[in-house]
């Protein structure tokens, strides 16, 4: 029983990263109709940002958790203004291709500077050790990551439902033409929303630095799983993307725990099998609406 | 938005179809282009390293296979490495264990890729546009993980080494001779792609690309057409992948990696989406460039290919063939006046 709880907790922590990345992808997609392939690269930059700040400048984890997402958010806003903006009028595939090219560039820049080996990042002071919940104990840092992700998701939910910006974003996501017809300047919010989505990816990267290997390729493999996650949840649905993120984290952790001995291939491909089942059963995703007939 | 035909669902619709322009070119010009193309193909290993020339052949076939989907069906597969790589492994395994002539091994590999494309395509064509790209990418990653874990079959991280290259006792160890042995297979593949695009079936595909709702209303089973195009494309990509492993005599997990899928799409966009032969040009340029970069000790190749990709998407969306075709058309239109 305590083993099962342990795996469940680990699944939720793994799912927290999927959820943070899927959340950023979903708000960006909702506002710009852009699927940002470079989301994984920004996650990687977040982890490297934390690493560089600690080793070369001496800024600790807590400082990095503020500085890195803010800096990456600004970088994202600049990229949106300079390039992505020009392509949003065209087919969404062009921005997918653009951000793919961007991913190759960012990865190679980091690789040429820091190599492909993983760089270590120590667990921040105050979050070392573990928390005793009576029946079981969990590493403090992982408890913190899970709490942070849940708070971030709740915070975004509150922003979307209780603020004027959130109202505009939701309206623009669901009925872009009608929102404009009401005289709301949707374009004003596009750049900040893009930056915000990138900042979420950056924050996930900073959180990942003490737990996962920091290397230039850490984002690329992750983003493909996140794509499967948003196909499962339905990219149009922000709630669906977050829920699918946690759900896939759980399924992967259970698969890893109970299947990796007997069926290693199955354990590693569970997320894709879930995606196949969802495509058969509800092609629009579990929480997505049917696409308008093309 | 104001026109009655909504073409927004297809990337090719935003650029004028270069093939249509070429098909409208005078007959003598088309034959002249064909003759020049064949002459270049026959001369190629004399002007380049034969190994590079073989790579160009394989990637040309890969690119044309992807353009069949992207340019003529309006589906952007971002996971075609699954078929290129699966065929590469299957071809290698057949060659190692059965000792058959290499074209038979390549054909077997391409058939395996086509069979794999049936279930994956059946699931993927349930979505369109950007979702199709994400779904194909995810399934290709699944195949990558399977190949990585199934080490007893694929050799895992080591891949398959020293794949034999045999053709009725002919000595094909020299890349120069292998090029000419592989060329007929590639030309057959390219001719098949041309035939598909210019068949009634191909016209239906273009109809689906431009207006799926109308195609459905006319009674065409849209999903089945898309699936057929997907399987045919996977077969052609598989031919390319099979020849690639024969050319290098080994295959590694790189063949299945998502960067391979992405590079193939770059090649198509560089050459010109929806132009079919543009992919051949794009392959020649990118393969030659990458070879030159690695030969001159350049280490950040991803920076260059990524940079080219970004520039092409931002500034040069028609690609090379599409731009030339558009220029030629404008020139002829001005002369007619």
Query: Does B313 contact A111 at a Cβ distance shorter than 8 Å?
Result: no
Nearest-CB residue to A105 (from B145, B212, B307): B307
Q: Which pLDDT band holds residue A25 (cuts at 50, 70, 90)?
A: very high
Angle between helices B50-70 and B27-47 (to 10 degrees): 140
CATH for the B12-336 domain, from 3.30.1330, 1.20.58, 2.60.40, 1.10.3470: 1.10.3470
pLDDT the model gives residue B13: 42
A122: which 2 tokens?
């120590």
A to B CB pairs, distance under 8 Å: 138
- In chain B, where are the structural domains located? 12-336
Of B144, B135, B121, nearest in space to A275 by CA: B135
Q: Which of B124, B306, B315 to mutate to test the interface with A (most CBs of A within 10 A)?
A: B306
Instruction: Spell out the domain ranges in chain A.
Output: 2-116+130-215
Do B259 and B118 contact (CB within 8 A), yes or no? no
d(CA A142, CA A132): 13
Residue A287, both tokens: 């929480």
Whether B266 and A101 lie within 8 Å, measured CB to CB: yes
Residue of A nearest to B124 (CA): A279
Please calculate the CA angle A24-B135-B88 and round it to the nearest 5 degrees. 130
User: How many other CB atoms are there within 10 angstroms of residue B152's CB atom?
Assistant: 7
pLDDT of the residue at A290: 58
Closest CA to A166 of A192, A148, A147: A192
Instruction: State both tokens at A216.
Output: 């230039």
The residues pairing with A132 across neighbouring beta strands, listed in sequence order, are A137
Helix pair angle (B129-149, B258-271), 10° resolution: 140
pTM of the entire predicted model = 0.89
Tokens of A4: 């099962």
Instruction: Kindly provide the ipTM of the predicted complex, given to two decimals.
Output: 0.88
* Inter-chain touch A105–B310, beta carbons under 8 Å: yes
Confirm if B57 and B50 have CB atoms less than 8 A apart: no
- Tens digit of each residue's pLDDT (9 = 90 or more) over A162-198: 998 888 888 887 777 788 888 888 888 889 999 999 9
Q: What is the full per-residue pLDDT of chain B (337 aa) written as tens digits?
A: 333 333 344 444 444 444 444 456 677 888 888 888 888 888 888 888 888 899 999 999 999 999 999 999 989 999 999 999 999 999 999 988 888 888 899 999 999 999 999 999 999 998 888 889 989 999 999 999 999 888 788 877 778 887 777 777 676 677 888 888 889 999 999 999 999 998 999 999 998 998 888 988 998 999 999 999 999 999 999 999 999 998 888 888 888 999 899 999 989 999 988 888 888 999 999 988 888 888 887 777 788 888 988 998 998 888 888 888 888 878 877 876 6
Phi-psi category of residue B5: left, alpha or beta, with phi > 0 → left and psi -120 to 50 → alpha: beta
**Shortest CB distance from A275 goes to which of B138, B302, B317?**
B138
In A33-91, alpha helices (H): 39-52, 61-79, 85-87
> If you ran DSSP here, which 8-state letter would residue B299 be given?
-
């Amino acid at each position: 029983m305590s083993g099962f709880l342990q795996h469940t907790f680990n699944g939720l922590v793994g799912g927290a990263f999927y959820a943070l990345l899927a959340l950023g992808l979903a708000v960006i997609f909702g506002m710009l109709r852009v699927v940002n392939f470079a989301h994984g690269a920004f996650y990687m930059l977040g982890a490297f940002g934390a690493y560089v700040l600690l080793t070369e400048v001496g800024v600790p984890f807590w400082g990095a958790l503020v500085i890195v997402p803010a800096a990456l958010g600004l970088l994202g806003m600049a990229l949106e203004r300079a390039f992505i903006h020009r392509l949003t009028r065209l087919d969404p595939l062009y921005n997918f291709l653009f951000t793919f090219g961007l991913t190759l560039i960012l990865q190679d820049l980091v690789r040429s500077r820091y190599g492909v080996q993983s760089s270590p990042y120590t667990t921040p002071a105050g979050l070392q050790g573990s928390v005793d919940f009576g029946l079981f104990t969990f590493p403090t840092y992982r408890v913190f990551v899970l709490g942070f992700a849940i708070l971030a998701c709740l915070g975004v939910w509150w922003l979307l439902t209780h603020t004027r910006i959130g109202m505009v974003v939701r309206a623009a996501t669901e009925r872009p033409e009608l929102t404009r017809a009401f005289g709301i300047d949707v374009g004003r919010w596009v750049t900040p929303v893009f930056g915000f989505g990138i900042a979420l990816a950056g924050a996930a990267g900073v959180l990942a630095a003490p737990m996962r290997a920091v290397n230039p390729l850490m984002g690329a493999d992750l983003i493909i799983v996140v794509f499967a996650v948003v196909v499962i949840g339905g990219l149009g649905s922000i709630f669906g993307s977050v829920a699918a993120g946690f759900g896939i984290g759980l399924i992967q952790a259970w698969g890893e725990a109970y299947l990796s001995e007997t069926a290693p291939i199955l354990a590693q491909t569970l997320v894709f099998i879930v995606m196949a089942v969802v495509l058969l059963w509800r092609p629009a995703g579990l929480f997505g609406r049917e696409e308008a007939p093309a | 938005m104001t026109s009655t035909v909504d073409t927004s669902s297809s990337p090719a619709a935003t650029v004028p179809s270069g093939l249509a322009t070429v098909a409208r070119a005078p007959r003598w010009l088309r034959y002249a282009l064909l003759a020049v193309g064949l002459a270049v193909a026959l001369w190629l290993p004399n002007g380049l390293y034969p190994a590079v020339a073989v790579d160009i052949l394989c990637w040309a076939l890969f690119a044309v296979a992807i353009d069949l989907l992207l340019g003529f069906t309006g589906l952007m597969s971002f996971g075609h490495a699954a078929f290129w790589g699966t065929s590469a492994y299957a071809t290698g395994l057949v060659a190692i264990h059965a000792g058959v002539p290499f074209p038979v091994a390549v054909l077997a590999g391409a058939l395996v890729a086509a069979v794999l494309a049936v279930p994956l395509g059946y699931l993927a064509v349930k979505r369109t546009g950007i979702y199709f790209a994400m779904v194909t990418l995810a399934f290709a990653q699944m195949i990558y993980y399977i190949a990585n874990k199934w080490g007893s079959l694929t050799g895992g991280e080591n891949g398959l080494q020293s794949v034999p290259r045999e053709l009725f006792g002919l000595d094909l160890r020299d890349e120069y001779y292998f090029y000419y042995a592989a060329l007929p297979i590639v030309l057959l593949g390219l001719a098949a792609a041309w035939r598909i695009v210019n068949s009634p079936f191909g016209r239906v595909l273009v109809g689906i690309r431009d207006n799926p709702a109308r195609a459905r209303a006319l009674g065409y089973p849209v999903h089945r057409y898309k699936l057929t195009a997907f399987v045919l494309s996977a077969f052609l990509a598989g031919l390319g992948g099979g020849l690639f492993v024969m050319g290098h005599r080994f295959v590694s997990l790189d063949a299945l990696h998502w960067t391979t899928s992405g590079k193939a799409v770059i090649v198509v966009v560089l050459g010109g989406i929806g132009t079919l032969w543009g992919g051949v040009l794009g392959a020649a340029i990118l393969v030659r460039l990458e070879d030159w970069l690695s030969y001159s000790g350049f280490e950040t190749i991803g920076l260059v290919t990524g940079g080219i990709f970004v520039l092409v998407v931002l500034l040069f969306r028609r690609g090379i063939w599409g731009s030339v075709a558009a220029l030629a058309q404008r020139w002829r239109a001005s002369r007619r006046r």
